Amino acid sequence: MTKVGIKADSFLTWNEVSDNITYSIVITSAKILEKSVNEFLEDMGSWLTRQEKIRRLLRFSGSSFEEFTESLGELPDRIRLIIPSLEVPDLETELLATKLYQITTSKREPGLLRVIAGILRGMADDYGTLAIITVKRDRIKVAVAISNYVGKRHFALSPLHGDT
């Protein structure tokens, strides 16, 4: 944080932050972690899926990884339901062939695609699905190899039904 010249405590939940600050945090963080920016963004996406509250909200999108991928287009609208002011570009999922999906965004936002790819990777793990996820310029390709590769992580509709 200090390397980018900002104070950690100057961030407030739901306060808008200018893109320049976001970019410099991303670039500096990647440098510190000795990763490429793309790698860092994907890791951030996967990290999001490991935050229990976020993971649970994502699991509401479908009961399988395929359903999750197919309904990815709903994700921006879901986010807008909670935080109407948050600008999220539209996402579109196309079924190219059986178990082969292509995801594109309405706005060219290469960084966002990397984060989405990371989320998809994280959620594939969560659903216990073996999938090959590749990002090419302006699109993500998801090929589902084995749907029930390992066991799904537990998910009950009621948060009180607990984990594991």
- Least spacing, CB of residue 79 vs another protein, in Å: 9
Nearer Cβ to another protein (63/148): 63
Contact 29, 8 (CB under 8 A): no
- Least spacing, CB of residue 71 vs another protein, in Å: 11
Number of residues that bind another protein (CB under 8 A): 20
Non-local (6+) Cβ contacts of 92 within 8 A are: 73, 103, 104, 105, 106
97 sits near another protein (criterion: CB under 8 A): no
State the burial class of residue 70 (Cβ atoms within 10 Å of its Cβ: 0-12, 13-18, 19+): middle
How far apart CA 82 and CA 89 sit, in angstroms, is 15
Among 2, 5, 13, 151, binds another protein (CB under 8 A): 13
Convert residues 48-87 into a mask of x (bound to another protein by CB under 8 A) and - (unbound).
Answer: -----x--xx--x-xx--------------x--xxx----
Contact 115, 103 (CB under 8 A): no
Among 17, 32, 100, 156, binds another protein (CB under 8 A): 156
